[in-house]
Amino acid sequence: MGLSDRIGTALLRGLADPETAHGLALRALAAGLGPRGGPPTSPRLTTRLAGLDLPNPVGLAAGFDKNATALAPLARTGFGFLEVGAATPLPQPGNPRPRLFRLDADRAAINRFGFNNDGAEAIAARLARRPAGAVIGLNLGANKTSTDRAADFAKVLSLAGPHVDFATVNVSSPNTEKLRDLQGRAALDALLGGVMAANADLARPVPIFLKIAPDLTDAELAEICEVAEARSVAALIATNTTLSRDGLSDPRKAEAGGLSGRPLFARSTRILAKAYRLTGGRLPLIGVGGIASAEDAYAKFRAGASAVQLYTAIVFEGIGLAGEIARGLDALLARDGFGNVAGAVGRDAEEWVGGMSGQLRRSKA
């Protein structure tokens, strides 16, 4: 990463309110500041995911650019694909501030945003002006006051679907009351049925992804995988933030909300590996949670991911981290004799399911 990126990140982290710092970072990107080299690529990094051709498999997770206000500059920073949102049918303010907390001692964050966004119509209008060549998806959400949350996902897809390359059904955020209840078999099947019907009505249907929680029991995960395959979900994103606070030392650990960052790595990677085993590699997986280096990303691939996404680590390391991880991943694949990412996928899945430790994970990466 460049010196200016490191200095800018340090200055933003010095602000008392992390949400204000995040808003300033988006404005700086929109103003043309930040890396401009585009996504690093190579024959090893080029990836086909759910019918999408990616220059590299390192993506931006939903939540960083909720309202699709910095699409063009983000497409130049090194990410192989972008996911914006979550978008809900109607605009909503989300939960009261403060609602974002940096846990510096743990290299983590806790948020309780509550799907604050400008609404699907405004976000769709920005996506209609998206940069050419970039792979961009939208995270679908439901309004807090909706009387039919399942229908909200289909509404957002109908509005914004013509302008994206994929869409993610997000029923795993812990910050909207009872949203995770939609992960149950019957509720999820009905919700996905509505989304798939809306998708079929688009002039150009898009791959539908499903984002799951890291706090699922084995039985819950098995049900989700069964429903996802039956409903022709194109990929699972594992995982969203966690409600667990295991092993934290920062005094802000008691704040309510979803935890992301380094402490989520092992928990999310174990869910990823279990999903890989349950689906037998038939369903592509996107690994999210605690990735801060090329070694972390490589471990996700070896656990079963076909692509990865970043968010919290770029708060600490800067937006240039995406390109740094992609280049490092290329070197790791070359070191181990893999001609492409697919060759590494799932190599360590069984060890992760059995409880691979962080020490062993790093030694193998």
Q: Does residue 332 contact residue 298 with C-beta atoms inside 8 Å?
A: yes
Q: Are strands 307-310 and 58-60 parallel, antiparallel or unpaired?
A: parallel
Residue 216 region by backbone torsions, left for phi larger than 0, else alpha for psi between -120 and 50, else beta: beta
**Catalytic, out of 173, 260, 268, 306:** 173
CB-based contacts of 323, cutoff 8 Å, min separation 6: 1, 35, 37, 39, 40, 77, 78
User: Is 173 a residue of the active site?
Assistant: yes
Spatial strand order of the sheet with 258-261 comes to: 100-103, 108-111, 258-261
Query: In the chain, what's the furthest Cα-to-Cα distance?
Result: 53
Peptide bond into 86 cis (omega under 30): yes
3 state DSSP class of 158: helix
- Is 268 in contact with 239 (CB distance < 8 Å)? yes
| Active site residues per annotation | 173
